[in-house]
Amino acid sequence: MRVLGIDCGTQYTGYGVIELSPSGDLLCLTCGAIKLPARQPLPTKLSTIFSSLSLIISDHHPDEVAIEDVFYAVNVKSAFKLGQVRGVAMLAASSAGLTVAEYAPLSVKSAVVGYGRAEKHQVQHMVQKLLKLSELPEPPDAADALAIAICHLHTAATLRSQGVAM
């Protein structure tokens, strides 16, 4: 199974494609972040995110997509912008015929680090260990996207072993 994890953001949108090999090893195929200029209008940012994610999907052919679920934000305006980015990420996936799974930040951190309130650097280090990477995944948004994909692979495997359809 191959999963594209997406960490949505209005400045950086992280992405990571992970494959679960038949032997059970996790393999990182690609990761990075889509950098969005701060002064760029939001519609242009959304178009860039859609185009970039569509290209990643076309290049790496994931079976499924996983993104971080909505979290509560103090700033309503920022929350709306993040919601728009999430919508565009879902649109890129669904336009390619892929299903999208959503995971709460606490669930992602628990699945990867074992502690739902883990710090960003702890997530980076565990992602590096789990994927046997020679260096920390950078930027942190890429590590978060990889963590979301790892969470999905672990969740999917558990549900399959219990005979639950996703």
User: Which are the catalytic amino acids?
Assistant: 7, 68, 141
Q: Which of 103, 125, 126 is nearest to 7 (CA)?
A: 103
Euclidean distance between CA atoms 163 and 150, whole angstroms: 20
**β-strand pairing of 99-103 with 26-35:** unpaired
Euclidean distance between CA atoms 107 and 85, whole angstroms: 21
**If you search the block for the tokens 């038949």, which residue do you land on?**
22
158: its two tokens: 């558990």
As a residue count, the chain comes to 166
